[in-house]
Amino acid sequence: MAERRVTIGWAEGLHARPASVFVKAVTSTGVPMTIAKEGGTPVNAGSMLGLLALGAAGGDAVVLSSDADGAEAALDRVAKLVQEGLDELPAA
């Protein structure tokens, strides 16, 4: 299983607009992945409801995980998006 530990770069955390950006980015990779607050229960990273239920705030550490083909590259891209608080998924 591939994992990336990152700190949320959006000041408002994974709520509202950043959550929407995150879910769109995850689904656009075509790689299923989960997200969890460190030590917490993983949720489907492509689910807006699951993501909002995390209650992840800006500066919180999260773990992105996947065991699918192409996971390493997809996790790298999504991790960069989260850590830097970007508005769109970085180029592959």
- Average pLDDT over the chain, rounded to an integer: 95
Residues 3, 15, 48, 58: which is the catalytic one? 15
12 domain residue, yes or no: yes
- pTM of the full structure: 0.94
Residue 15 among the catalytic residues: yes
Q: Is residue 32 part of a domain?
A: yes
Q: Is 50 a domain residue?
A: yes
Structural domain tally of the chain?
1
pLDDT tens digit sequence for 28-48: 999 999 999 989 999 999 999
Percent of the chain with pLDDT over 70: 100
Q: Please name which of 86, 88, 85, 89 lies closest in space to residue 9, comparing C-alpha atoms.
A: 85
DSSP H or E stretch at residue 44: strand 43-44
The owner of tokens 């689904």 is 27
Its domain, for residue 25, covers 2-84
Classify 28 as helix, strand or coil.
helix
C-alpha–C-alpha distance, residues 21 and 25, integer Å: 6
Residue 91, in any domain of the structure = no
Strand pairing class (2-7; 34-37): unpaired
pLDDT (tens digit per residue) in 6-28: 999 999 999 989 999 999 999 99
